[in-house]
Amino acid sequence: MSKKSWKSYVIPSIFITVFLIAVVITVMQQRPVSEYPEKLSLLNSSDFVIAGTDPVLQVGEANLGDVSLQFPGGKMLGRSGVYRPADINVLFTFTRKTNLLNKVDINDAGLATTRSISVNDSFDKVVNAYGDGYVRSYYKNDPQTFDAVYGEEQCIVFNVKDNQVKRIVILHDINATN
């Protein structure tokens, strides 16, 4: 076999192999799935109050001053508008212009929703408290890990793994209410 004929087979073979590997990787990627209920469960304005706070902290109404009084010793994370308390694994996010609390990420059992749901509770407890009108979003290859989204612009998201709440996000879109 001459050098020229050998190269004419190797180079196209390399390109074909790389192309097939790319196709296999694309096919194996996780595919997101969202399941919608016939009717979404309704959320009230009181659902955006953080349980056990005094004075009351309501997402969409409280400001940085209210949160820092409630959780002193925390710090702002750069110029991002995110406040992290020192003693609890929670992130409070504020709007840039009005400094209103518009998102709370609860990552441990230190805080709860108004309906007494906290991290490490069972998802059955969530359904008993909020109903079954939620959007379920998950990756096709791992349906046991999912987000249960209650509400629309103003929503509460429960990140669930193996029927246990791992994270709670309370989100209040300030622009949707103005």
For residues 94 and 14, the model is more confident at 94
Of 1-10, 13-22, 103-112, 129-138, the one with minimum mean pLDDT is 1-10
Give the pLDDT of residue 178: 45
Report the percentage of the chain scoring pLDDT > 70: 90
Domain locations in the chain? 1-30, 31-177
Burial of 41-57, coded b for 16+ CB within 10 Å and e otherwise, reads bebeeebbbbeeeeeeb
For residues 86 and 78, the model is more confident at 86
Q: What is the mean pLDDT of residues 62-87?
A: 90
Q: How confident is the model at residue 155 (pLDDT cuts 50, 70, 90)?
A: very high
pLDDT tens-digit map of 14-68: 878 877 777 777 666 667 889 999 999 999 999 999 988 888 899 999 999 999 9
Mean of pLDDT over the chain: 88
The answer, yes or no, to whether residue 5 has pLDDT greater than 70, is: no
Give the pLDDT of residue 118: 96
Q: How confident is the model at residue 114 (pLDDT cuts 50, 70, 90)?
A: very high
Contact in structure between 40 and 151 (CB atoms under 8 Å): yes
Q: How confident is the model at residue 6 (pLDDT cuts 50, 70, 90)?
A: low
